Structure 1
């Protein structure tokens, strides 16, 4: 396992457009949605930008319906190098790999009525010929007291799965990475959940990407310190390419280059 934090980019899609939103406001009620930024560029533009900067491990997240075409446009711009998530099931996981995804990311399908289903996880893997290198498990979560529970359905439904060393250890044999949004922090630029980052570094033996609350390039150093280089960081709303003022995209690219093994 690599031991160096790196910046990972994202392409968040909502209603076919590249957007940065406040994660906790996603629901079926459109008026609840709080949007930080709507890009004038299509998804393929950002995929090409990441390709030109050789930023590996980027995730394309489809937030609700109407995003398939935009996601496939991104995959076509950099085949075999982008992860895709949002509505992935055992019925379509292979389709997304065939469309050019490096890996598929899965969450809600694993939690029928909010309860984890190992059978569903195994069925997704079976659709990928049991190739764990093609699967990322999304354990995006919300805080409940002093701990975290996996959140599904656009982060609106809290499941019964607590994020613990035991639950991480149980899931690791079935995937190649974890993606974990701190949903309470997502899109707010109010700071990293450093306690969660530290726990992930302690518990995870496979690569893990954290997202939520990043404000500046200095947060890459913070995550590197908290995780001893074991956890990667996604910066979204703070990036200048997404209308942010806290972090310049080129500075993040430079940080990766300067901190490469």
Structure 2
């Protein structure tokens, strides 16, 4: 019965990622990334391959919507090399501001992803969002609303997920920001890198609230989680696998199976 009811709807897709830390491709436990305590960093995987290797891999399989996130300084050269490997094929985030957004687009980013710059003093600035959207174009802007859970709700977390802002993830917030951005990227920072399952409540809410393409990341551990996201969000939310993925040292999700899922569920740009 479920299949007949949803036969004509869009399906959730796999969206790949490249996380850069100190110039290397890594998979990091989200809650452990702290400027004040670098020794607390928990790393699940450090790749022997450069970022450009993954860009070429995604290009080969035409996996659109991949996000490349620069976690702190020392990542620009690796990011540029990845963009050279797939011009206009990757979305770039990490330290994006009004000053450098256009430069990254010129360097070959399909879109730029912004978080912290929109939250001066951890408070949301609609003026900054409007200014950036007007400067580069709504269609080139992705807003990262990665968040942490507080009770029964979620608040946007900035500065590599270390600083909680005043902005709650809810329908009003998403509807407002969607006027100025073409996509959302939402990491559930509390479960990021743990491979212990997705935040089902958040995915369900996003499925009700979002009106533009949205990618969720955090906790996904096997291909069943992609089917679960598809079910909970009614196909409105895509999913990123990180530490569980075999190309990042994981043992529970095969990259080839993710490619096959997209091919069988109507992969689109």
Q: How does the TM-score come out when normalised to structure 2?
A: 0.94
Question: Equivalent residue for 2:41?
Answer: 33
Structure 2's unaligned 5+ residue stretches are: 1-8
* Aligned counterpart in structure 1 of residue 50 of structure 2, from 38, 42, 51: 42
Structure 1's unaligned 5+ residue stretches are: none
Report if aligned partners of 1:85, 1:106 keep a CA contact under 8 Å in 2. yes
RMSD: 0.9
- Matching of residues 86-165 of structure 1 within 5 Å: 86-128=94-136, 131-165=137-171
Question: Equivalent residue for 2:185?
Answer: 179
CA distance, structure 1, for counterparts of residue 134 and residue 99 of structure 2: 11
The alpha-carbon deviation at position 86 of structure 1 amounts to 0.3
Deviations 1:124-157 (A, max 9, x none): 22331xx100000000000000000000011011
CA distance, structure 1, for counterparts of residue 131 and residue 23 of structure 2: 28
Question: Equivalent residue for 2:220?
Answer: 214
Question: Equivalent residue for 1:20?
Answer: 27
Q: Which moved more, 1:22-31 or 1:97-106?
A: 22-31
Question: Equivalent residue for 1:202?
Answer: 208
Q: How does the TM-score come out when normalised to structure 1?
A: 0.97
* Aligned counterpart in structure 2 of residue 73 of structure 1, from 61, 81, 89: 81
Look up the SS of the partner of 1:173 in the other structure.
Answer: coil
Report if aligned partners of 1:116, 1:160 keep a CA contact under 8 Å in 2. yes
- How many residue pairs match? The answer is 258
CA distance, structure 2, for counterparts of residue 16 and residue 127 of structure 1: 29
Question: Equivalent residue for 2:264?
Answer: 258
Look up the SS of the partner of 1:174 in the other structure.
Answer: coil
Report if aligned partners of 1:91, 1:127 keep a CA contact under 8 Å in 2. no
The alpha-carbon deviation at position 37 of structure 1 amounts to 0.3
Look up the SS of the partner of 2:74 in the other structure.
Answer: coil
